[in-house]
Amino acid sequence: MTASSVSSSVRNVPFSTAAKGQQGGSSDRGLRAVSDQDGLTVLLDTMEDPTSVSADFDSTMVIAAFAGEKTTGGHDIEITSMTEQQGMVTVEVVETSPAAGCAVTQTITTPYHIVIVRQPHADVRFHTTNRVQECPAS
């Protein structure tokens, strides 16, 4: 293996879910990386029903995905994986919406997913995939 192939290799970055839900997220859509306590406080203040999240920012950072306010159920947002290459962490996010005509709850939702990753102060970029969930067969 050459030095250039080692430095350009991609590695999976493990993470753990700190909070996930359909209610209580931010009414604004957004993807955020937080590397200090002040940033975490600001992040949690944007939530309609702030959850309890704590992190040791000497060794970890917080990544959050908010789908924003949705007028029905059937929506979701999930951080599915993370990879690191040459110091850049890529966060894969899947945002799911129900297909037209699906029976869904008629309630406002604010889906969110917050994770902790042992990659403090990393450069982060997000890649979002939009997925349509087909209606269940009746």
Check whether 2 has a pLDDT greater than 80.
no
Here the tokens at position 84 are 């690191």
**Helix or strand holding residue 39 (H, E):** helix 37-45
Instruction: Select from 19, 13, 116, 22 the least CA-distant residue to 63.
Output: 116
- Would you call 60 exposed, middle or buried from its count of C-beta atoms within 10 A (0-12, 13-18, 19+)? buried
Strand-strand pairing, 61-66 and 30-34: antiparallel
Here the tokens at position 137 are 């067969």
pLDDT band at 130 (very low <50, low <70, confident <90, very high): very high
- Give the model's pLDDT for residue 138: 65
Q: pLDDT per residue over 76-124, tens digit each?
A: 999 999 999 998 999 999 999 999 989 999 999 999 999 999 988 889 9
